[in-house]
Structure 1
Amino acid sequence: MKKKFIGALVAFLALSACKEADNPAVVTYEINTETSYVEWRGYLPEGNNHGRISIDDDEVTTENNQVTGGSFSIPLSSINVLNLEGELKEQLEHHLQSADFFNAVLYPNITFQIREVAPYHGDGGEHVVDGANYEVTGDLTFLGKANIITFPANVDFSGNQLHAEALITIDRLEWGMDYASDPEAPQYILPGIDLHLVLVANQQ
């Protein structure tokens, strides 16, 4: 009886795998690390610092041109400050990687895991990317903590390529990044961080 059950289970799994492989509506896209990136901007009481960070290779899954899942990681070793030069640039890059901020030695990557993608019915606005057509919900993890975030995104399919773009604002305090968070401190840094996500993926 046990052998019959195992045999039936193996046959069912094999049949399910064949159906998924034969379904042309289910497509996996591989993220292009050369054209995908995140621009970041952190704020001081007067002025801001900004830069760019890379996205590591990962996948996005779709069905009938609808995103159904996926994930990507952001290597903190790729933090790049764009508004400073020379020694000041290097100092800030190393400081952002230190335990005061992202603690890249213990947590070398930021990760995002998609939970849900639904049609976006909002009216747009200052912090919404142009042409937003989907609302993305997922787990954003850094400093060893995962928080659920939701943001509008523009997702477009062209040929064998998927292009996604979003504007995201997070509060670093919600992940425990509390360095220079006292408004009365001489080196106060506002808790909000603005992110501009640009993701390009190619059909596998």
Structure 2
Amino acid sequence: MKNSIKNIVSIVLVALFTLSFTTPENTKKEVKTTQSKVVWKGYKVTGSHEGTIAIQKGNLIFNGSKLTGGEFTIDMRSISSTDLEGEYQKKLEGHLKSDDFFGVEKFPTASLVFTKVNATGKNSYKVTGNITIKGHTEVITLDLSVYGNKATASLKIDRTKFDVRYGSTSFFDGLKDKAIYDDFDLVVDLEF
């Protein structure tokens, strides 16, 4: 009986010791592109415009329940306006897709690749990554929250860093009420 107890205790100790030094593997969770949403909002002197843009593909990487990485590809050809209708909507969408703005014929996708993820709370993270728009890559930092199988983020992007200069007072004088502000916002709701 003593030997059986010693054997059981030995097995339990070995198991606990082994598990305490085993690290969970990274798990890649694919983003459900049709259930996820990216909303953009751009500002000008006389108001603003907003719309959506589609995620072509993406994933978040977890080590256990902790976010450790991720990457996304955005379909720039999907830029749409949700605050206008009819002819004005088509004109704005066409202009945003033109070389004046995002040049989607030459640059059909944009991307974001996480390079560093730091936990800032139980479900919140400070993410640093490389964002590429129109062939230009810049480092960006954003706050991301994860709850269950959903994640949210909002970020501000300076379009001029990606050679999107149309209507920018940083490059053109005398625009007056035709000026378009350099920063635009993205609000991202992901499901994975």
TM-score (norm 2): 0.81
Find the counterpart in structure 2 of residue 170 from structure 1: 157
Please identify the structure whose Cα radius of gyration is greater. Answer: 2
Letter in 2 for 1:169: K
Match runs of 1:9-24 below 5 Å: none
Name stretches of at least 5 consecutive residues in structure 2 with no aligned partner. 1-21
Give the 3-state SS of the residue equivalent to 2:104 in structure 1. coil
Cα deviation for residue 59 of structure 1 reads 2.2
Find the counterpart in structure 2 of residue 47 from structure 1: 47
Q: Is the 8 A contact 1:152 1:167 kept in 2?
A: yes
Find the counterpart in structure 2 of residue 116 from structure 1: 116
Q: Is the 8 A contact 2:124 2:143 kept in 1?
A: yes
C-alpha distance in 1, partners of 2:26/2:133?
A: 30
C-alpha distance in 2, partners of 1:152/1:57?
A: 20
C-alpha distance in 2, partners of 1:132/1:178?
A: 37
Letter in 2 for 1:174: K
Letter in 1 for 2:59: E
Once the two structures are superposed, residues 125-175 of structure 1 have per-residue CA deviations (whole angstroms, 9 ceiling, x without a partner) of xxxxxx97110110110110110100111112x2xxx31101101111111
Name stretches of at least 5 consecutive residues in structure 1 with no aligned partner. 1-21, 122-130
Q: Is the 8 A contact 1:29 1:59 kept in 2?
A: yes
Pick from 138, 142, 150: which aligns with 2:141? Answer: 150
Cα deviation for residue 46 of structure 1 reads 2.0
Q: Is the 8 A contact 2:142 2:153 kept in 1?
A: yes
Find the counterpart in structure 2 of residue 58 from structure 1: 58
Find the counterpart in structure 2 of residue 106 from structure 1: 106
C-alpha distance in 1, partners of 2:26/2:111?
A: 24
C-alpha distance in 2, partners of 1:153/1:59?
A: 14
Structure number with the higher strand fraction is 2
Once the two structures are superposed, residues 44-68 of structure 1 have per-residue CA deviations (whole angstroms, 9 ceiling, x without a partner) of 1121000011111232221021122
> How has the CA–CA distance of structure 1 residues 84 and 132 changed in structure 2, closer, same or farther, with 3 Å as cutoff?
farther
> How has the CA–CA distance of structure 1 residues 166 and 189 changed in structure 2, closer, same or farther, with 3 Å as cutoff?
same
Query: Where has structure 1 moved over 4 Å in runs of 4 or more?
Result: 22-25
Letter in 2 for 1:192: D
Cα deviation for residue 184 of structure 1 reads 2.5
Find the counterpart in structure 2 of residue 5 from structure 1: none
